[in-house]
Amino acid sequence: MSYRSDIQWYYKQPVENEGTMMIAGTATKEPGRNYTFQSPLPADVFFEVRPRTLPHNAQPVLDETSGMCIGYSVAQAPGLWQIYDTRGHFLRLEEAPLETPLIDPTDIALIAFGVFRIFRAGRVLFEAGTRSAVSAKLSQATIMFLRARLKTGLSARNIKMTETAARHMYEPGRYVPLHIQEKAIRYGRRMADPRNGEGMFRYETEMYKLNRKRNVTEYKKYTLEVVVRESDWTITHFKYFD
């Protein structure tokens, strides 16, 4: 079922990476609705809002379904990891039995460090150093713990979006996980909406885009802005830029 928006639009010339941009001459009236999104990002691209403090050698746990870092692992010994949530809080110890029966002895030293990646199909891959990836089993209990910790606070499930904003969530070049946008609202800098929308506020936070290539993670910092109608916590606009 499709819906029509009663928002009033005004336009100015397109700007790079944004296309046609809305300037609010009146308050935004487009209704907010709850959405569920799956990441349209390439399989090697993820987002992260990094906590202020992280243990030394913390490595991301990457979830392809949401396209984001959902926690961190810290090697305590080969095959034994401390697991932290996205806020840097310790959750549990994880001992991951290897699924691959035969491993080169030199891999044993490398397996103490690396990145867990959770594929859309549910399989977990442990990528160590610059050598070939080693398949390892991260328990479903740990994965559920990490995902459940994302729902504390305001929770992305309680955040609404206008249809206009939601359309951008299907564009790989604009998509930002709802949990990342929720973090911007909960922890970011709050300011008046520069377009002077009634009841609208803009939030800003720093985030990282992770590109995982050949078992090496490249990081690039961006600023994320989210414009919210606080009367019903509806996101009307979001964008990131460097």
What is the rounded average pLDDT of the residues 203-232?
A: 93
User: Which of 87-96, 102-111, 169-178 is most confident?
Assistant: 169-178
Residues 30-77: pLDDT tens digits? 999 999 899 999 999 999 999 989 888 899 999 999 999 999 999 988
Residue 132: the pLDDT is 58
Between CA 94 and CA 107 the distance in angstroms is 19
| Cα diameter, the chain | 67
8 A C-beta contact, residue 73 and residue 85: no
Per the confidence metrics, is the pTM higher than 0.95?
A: no
Which stretches of 18-67 are DSSP H helices? Answer: none
What is the rounded average pLDDT of the residues 216-223?
A: 93
* pLDDT for 6 beyond 90: no
Residues 152-164: pLDDT tens digits? 555 656 889 999 9
Sorting pLDDT into bands at 50, 70 and 90, what band is 146? very high
Residue 229: the pLDDT is 94
Q: 48 pairs with which residues across the strands?
A: 208
| Mean pLDDT of all residues belonging to the chain | 81
Between CA 238 and CA 203 the distance in angstroms is 9
Give the CB-side neighbour count of residue 26, counting CA atoms within 13 A: 6
Q: Of all helices (H) and strands (E), which one includes residue 39?
A: none
Residue 42: the pLDDT is 95
> Where is average pLDDT lowest: 115-124, 153-162, 168-177, 198-207?
153-162
* pLDDT for 221 beyond 90: yes
- Separation in Å, CA 13 to CA 19, 20, 22, 168: 8, 7, 10, 19
What is the rounded average pLDDT of the residues 3-28?
A: 36
What is the rounded average pLDDT of the residues 104-125?
A: 76
Between CA 225 and CA 207 the distance in angstroms is 10
* pLDDT for 21 beyond 50: no
Sorting pLDDT into bands at 50, 70 and 90, what band is 121? confident
Interacting residues of 42 by C-beta distance below 8 A, sequence separation 6+: 172
